[in-house]
Amino acid sequence: MTTISIKSYPVRREHAGHVNKGPKLNLKSGYVDLSHGSGGRAMAQLIDQLFLENFDNEWLSQKNDQAMIAVSTGRMVVTTDAHVISPLFFPGGDIGSLSVNGTINDIVMSGAKPLYLSASFILEEGLRLSDLQKIVISMANAARDANVAIVAGDTKVVERGKGDGVFITTTGIGFVPEGVNISGSNAKPGDCILINGYLGDHGVAIMAQRNNLKFSTDIQSDTAGLHDLVMKMVEAVPGIHCLRDPTRGGLATTLNELAIQSKAGFFIDESCIPVRVEVASACELLGLDPLYVANEGKLVAICASDDAKTLLEVMRSHPLGRHSAIIGEVTADPRQLVQLRTRLGGMRIVDWLVGEQLPRIC
């Protein structure tokens, strides 16, 4: 089995003993073919000229089948995500930035500092090398922004019709600072529930692409790494109880998960939940509920009510939290229900998503 670290830098040479890197990949007009997954010369070129060129760091250049990392005593977090989003490129991002940001966000929701990523690629024969290059550059930029190193990787190629362009699985590793103890099971009755901005942008941006709907305003995916926002939140309120990113399944799913983990009820107020007018309109058109639509740059934070004002201020002062709001509170409810007060003043239960709402949204 192969990691980028490995099959990577085997500098090509000729029989005469000259060292060279072999012919250049045709990144402008070439395509992925099965030889790029063979373990041989073509794969080494792909890894060398595309992945290493962009992800280069001290671990990859060790050229072993595994990256070796010095660690200190403490608490490490690990998370993984497969990314199969369609289309590969969308307003606000692409599968590359998404696959890095998504895993970074899962790491930082524990209060951890993200440090290392692995990335494995399943490429479909016929993918344009220029598209793959854009995606890889996008990953490299997202990783650089978060000061995270992509230390190991793998590349496989499947025949045309057995994949869909590219699937990317990223696995992230981070370390939790002393004194931080954030978990989905820590919400307490009386706690406040906060969100860092508008809901539903990602899901609607993707659906609009797929259906070629013409919106008067371009809605962009909110895909973003939340590492810096969370760091500032944890600095200001080290005792934050819960953090979670409401991705697939949306806010509704995240709150239902947290309610069960914390054995509490949640009460949210529709009039406090930030949703863009364009997103609300699009959701109406598509028959979607913004509470169930995926986000890729949002987080739910739960903290003691005494800390809520401080936390809200810190969030609002950050570029990724300008539209933050307190949207509800935790209740003592043995039924562990998520309840919503509607704009009209009625109450309804916000249940788990049933069936499939938005396939391949991430």
In sign, the C-alpha dihedral spanning 250, 202, 171, 148 is negative
- The burial class, CB within 10 Å (0-12 / 13-18 / 19+), for 353 is middle
User: From the CB of 140, what's the least distance to a copy of itself, in Å?
Assistant: 17
User: From the CB of 313, what's the least distance to a copy of itself, in Å?
Assistant: 26
Q: By CB under 8 A, tell whether 223 contacts a copy of itself.
A: no
User: From the CB of 281, what's the least distance to a copy of itself, in Å?
Assistant: 23
Q: By CB under 8 A, tell whether 330 contacts a copy of itself.
A: no
Q: What is the x/- site pattern for a copy of itself, positions 247-286, by CB under 8 A? A: xxxx--x--xx--xx-------------------------
Part of the chain binding a copy of itself (CB under 8 A), chosen from 183-191, 209-217, 228-236, 312-320: 183-191
In sign, the C-alpha dihedral spanning 118, 123, 127, 129 is positive
Part of the chain binding a copy of itself (CB under 8 A), chosen from 172-180, 192-200, 209-217, 300-308: 172-180
C-alpha of 270 from chain center = 26
Nearer to a copy of itself (CB atom), residue 260 or residue 285: 260
Contacts to a copy of itself from residues 65-84, by CB under 8 A: 65-84
User: From the CB of 189, what's the least distance to a copy of itself, in Å?
Assistant: 16
CA distances from 266 to 118, 261, 315, 343 (A): 36, 12, 21, 17
Q: By CB under 8 A, tell whether 34 contacts a copy of itself.
A: yes
Question: How many CB atoms lie under 10 A from the CB of residue 346?
Answer: 9
Residue 246 DSSP SS3: coil
Q: By CB under 8 A, tell whether 294 contacts a copy of itself.
A: yes
Q: For residues 343 and 362, what is the distance between their CA atoms, to the nearest angstrom?
A: 30
Contact criterion met (CB below 8 Å) for 46 and 36: yes
Q: By CB under 8 A, tell whether 64 contacts a copy of itself.
A: yes
